[in-house]
Amino acid sequence: MKDISEIRSDFPILGRKVYGKQLVYFDNGATAQKPQRVIDSVDEILTFFNGNIHRGVHYLSDMASESYENARQKVAAFINASGKEEIVFTSGTTGSINTIAFSFGERYIKRGDEIIVSHLEHHANIVPWQMLCERKGAILKVIPMNSNGEIITGEYLKLLSPKTKIVAITQVSNALGTIVPVNEIIEAAHSNNTPVLVDGAQGIQHGIVDVQKMDCDFYVFSGHKIYGPTGIGVLYGKKKWLEELPPYQGGGDMVEKVTFEKTTYNHLPFKFEAGTMNYAGAVGLGAALDYITELGREEIAERERQLLSYATECISGIEGVTIYGNSERKISTISFLIDGIHQYDTGMVLDKLGIAVRTGTHCAQPVMDFFGIDGTVRVSMCFYNTRQEIEALVQGIEKVKSMF
């Protein structure tokens, strides 16, 4: 793997100061920073190749379409989909989940059916299913969690029944960092003839994802959390599902033939891509995937494991600090509170020291309710973070303690 200073210099923002202090960026779970290569790729398409995709015969449209389709191929290879027609571009994880909740719901969900999610979910993997349940009179079932921040798989098995029509589960908890045993969840669901959607928003960043090995029916993620641009995301679906499901939105490009009497839909994946897509974003995402593939995904995961281990040791050693989420299997995320100090106060003091952390409920209010708290401070690290930054954080926490 490249030397850490070389890696850091690939990300121009990491060199900047905030409030006159060197930036320490520990909010990678909310959005990751972008290497120059991603910024350049978006710049290049907008500067030299901008033309609406799949529409014209002219040079610019052709070039933009080709770049967009290349990006799709890169995504397919990155997650090991069996073909690029299984990759639908969306606006992000939220857009992808809403697409499935609507399309799958329209086709398969009826009154009394059940949908399973877990207590660990981000709101994006709760609310679209609740909306579906409301529309169709279906019932949302929730896999409970334990005090380590893990789902209780034994309870999950009890929830599965002939009424279960889909399971939607996160690969990693964004609030606590817990890695969920999705393979086990999928295997049990499939024995019950139930498809599974995996929310990969946090999982995609920290390890190798192989959708064929995982055997999930749908896998969704956002470009911006994997060092790509905002406004672009991915919905992977097994071909047989995407072929069966009705489209989510109607409009240009998703159609084959339109008459006032009847419209037929385009083939996959275009059936799910209505209107002008974020082709510049897709190209940027492709560049991000190239970047991390070249850096080495195993190496990235190993570096992040070391950062987690060091940060856990340092933070748990501070008196008066409680860490929430103590699973054996975690990504490089630590959620904590300092006794008697509100998370916003901690976050604000750290911010003035140049240290960016996330505070609040992390769009996972049920997780906070489980612990009886109204939020945490979340430190989410990735491969470009360093031990020195963790040490700066520890000093920052000590400073917060001395101020309150």
Q: Which CB atom, from 204 or from 338, has the smaller least distance to ligand PMP?
A: 204
- List C-alpha distances in Å: 283 to 18, 35, 61, 85, 163: 30, 14, 14, 17, 41
Q: Per rule CB under 6 A, is residue 199 in the interface with ligand PMP?
A: yes
Instruction: Measure the CA angle with vertex 195, ends 184 and 325; round to 5°.
Output: 45
Q: Please select the residue that binds ligand PMP; options are 35, 92, 177, 269, rule is CB under 6 A.
A: 92
Q: Which residues contact 45 (CB under 8 A, 6 or more apart)?
A: 64, 67, 279, 280, 283
Residue span binding ligand PMP (CB under 6 A) among the ranges 37-45, 87-95, 240-248, 336-344 = 87-95
Residue span binding ligand PMP (CB under 6 A) among the ranges 37-45, 104-112, 194-202, 369-377 = 194-202
DSSP secondary structure of 115-179: EEEETT--GGGTHHHHHHHHHHT-EEEEE-B-TTS-B-HHHHHHH--TTEEEEEEESB-TTT-BB
Q: How far is CA 389 from the centre of its chain?
A: 24
Site map (CB under 6 A) of ligand PMP, residues 354-383, x = contact: ---------x--------------------
User: Is 363 assigned a catalytic role?
Assistant: yes
Q: Which residues contact 118 (CB under 8 A, 6 or more apart)?
A: 142, 143, 145, 151, 156, 169, 170, 180
3-class secondary structure, 364: coil
Q: Per rule CB under 6 A, is residue 216 in the interface with ligand PMP?
A: no
Q: Which CB atom, from 289 or from 341, has the smaller least distance to ligand PMP?
A: 289
CB of 282 to ligand PMP, least distance (A): 15
Site map (CB under 6 A) of ligand PMP, residues 312-351, x = contact: ----------------------------------------
CB of 163 to ligand PMP, least distance (A): 25
Taken as a whole, the chain contains a residue count of 404
Site map (CB under 6 A) of ligand PMP, residues 99-138, x = contact: -----------------------x-xx-------------
Q: Summarize as ranges the residues that interact with ligand PMP (CB under 6 A).
A: 92-94, 122, 124-125, 170, 174, 199, 201-202, 222, 363
State the catalytic residues: 363
